[in-house]
Chains A and B, each alone.
Chain A
Amino acid sequence: MNRIAVALLTLLLTFAGLAHPNDQRAGRVAVPVVKIEKSGTCVAPTEEMRRDHMKMLFHQRDRTVRQGFREPRFSLKGCVECHASRESGSVLGKEGFCSSCHAYASVKMDCFECHSSSRHQGPVGARR
């Protein structure tokens, strides 16, 4: 009896493993588009940005709103200026820097109901 259970389990796991590869998953959920169009480095290493960007934004948001610090380093405006798409001028939209990743990770963002999601200055000329 036990042996059968183990065999069944192994079989199941094997199929689960086969079903896993990326190409199959990508068929169902669009893999995020992370296009870095602007040269130069971000305010922190990529690994740190991926893990902690919301912590940085949260920290800066309270410093700016409550105390009036206006350091450019972690400002949301700065993120948008750099990462807005060259075509649409925005970090939102289908291939938007913020929205495509957040859609993939299924994490709701509440920033751009109030904040502008578009680049307003800079070389791209995507002014609205």
Chain B
Amino acid sequence: MSLGRREFLAWGTAATAGAALAPVISLVELAQARSPEEAASSLRRWGLLIDITKCADCDECVTACHTENGVANNGRPRTDAQWIRKVNLRDKRTAVAQTLPLMCQHCEDPPCVDVCPTGASFKRDDGIVLVDKHTCIGCRYCVMACPYGARSFVHETVTGQRPDVPRGKGTVESCTLCVHRVDRGDAPACVEACNRDGGKAMLFGDLNDASAEIHRRLHAEPSAQVRADLALDTGVRYQGL
């Protein structure tokens, strides 16, 4: 079979156009919500940027998170789960005070994933660190390993779970970056609440997407990781720390 001149030209043009368009198409796709039939992609890395100079003396993010995820307060602070908490800092020498929200930092190399015997603690392709509660045996080794105290063990029977957020006694849980919201194209509940009722300190986005605001700011302004000395490459970054 020989290719005619005309066909050759036609194929060639199409191929060139395709090659030129491909990156554009993928960019457009990244900017949109993923379809339900699509898997989480390793091209993305979801993350947060928190400017603690703007972090107000409120706990809108905490309330919003625990409402969204059905994390109830049983009046037992030692054993109640906390997916996100406000941490108050005071410099030991200068007494300068700061406040910031702390949650799972969604590490690139998460210690909780390394230590989990069954592989229930895992990192999704798009960088979100999760607990597969179907295989979690409740050994709490991940709680021992987490440098941020981000994980909670469910100490008692849970009722009234949210349909998108299964939770149950005897397993470990932590911030999911509101994976059910992220998967339908929304920002996590804490970010939404902070920008609506709080200090507008939190920004959510794809750290790999050059067109995203979070990417632009991380590349233009200084930022820090909590316990950067552990070299875990966290997905949550702070400014003004």
Direct contact of A and B (CB under 8 A): yes
What residues of chain A have their CB less than 8 Å away from a CB belonging to chain B? Answer: 61-62, 65-72, 77, 80, 113-116, 118, 120, 128
- Across-interface contacts of A71 in B (CB, < 8 A): 36-37
- Across-interface contacts of A67 in B (CB, < 8 A): 39-40, 124-125
State whether A69 touches B38 (Cβ < 8 A): yes
Number of interface residues of B (CB under 8 A): 29
B31-46 interface bits toward A, Cβ cutoff 8 Å, 1 = contact, 0 = none: 0001011111000000
Whether B126 is near chain A, meaning CB under 8 Å from some CB there, is yes
Q: List 16 A-B contacts (CB under 8 A).
A: A65-B134, A68-B34, A68-B124, A68-B125, A68-B126, A69-B36, A69-B37, A71-B37, A77-B163, A77-B164, A80-B163, A114-B158, A114-B168, A115-B163, A116-B160, A116-B166
State whether B130 touches A65 (Cβ < 8 A): yes
Q: In angstroms, how far is the closest chain B Cβ from the Cβ of A115?
A: 5
Whether B183 is near chain A, meaning CB under 8 Å from some CB there, is yes
What 7 pairs between A and B have smallest CB-CB spacing? Answer: A68-B40, A114-B168, A114-B166, A70-B36, A67-B39, A113-B168, A115-B166
State whether A115 touches B36 (Cβ < 8 A): no
Q: How far is the CA of A70 from the CA of B180 in the complex (A)?
A: 9
- Across-interface contacts of B36 in A (CB, < 8 A): 69-72
State whether A113 touches B125 (Cβ < 8 A): no
Whether B169 is near chain A, meaning CB under 8 Å from some CB there, is yes
Whether B79 is near chain A, meaning CB under 8 Å from some CB there, is no
Whether B85 is near chain A, meaning CB under 8 Å from some CB there, is no
Q: In angstroms, how far is the closest chain A Cβ from the Cβ of B123?
A: 10
B135-167 interface bits toward A, Cβ cutoff 8 Å, 1 = contact, 0 = none: 000000000000000000000011011111011
A65, A69, A72, A113: the one within 8 Å of B132 (CB)? A65
Whether B133 is near chain A, meaning CB under 8 Å from some CB there, is yes
- Across-interface contacts of B167 in A (CB, < 8 A): 114
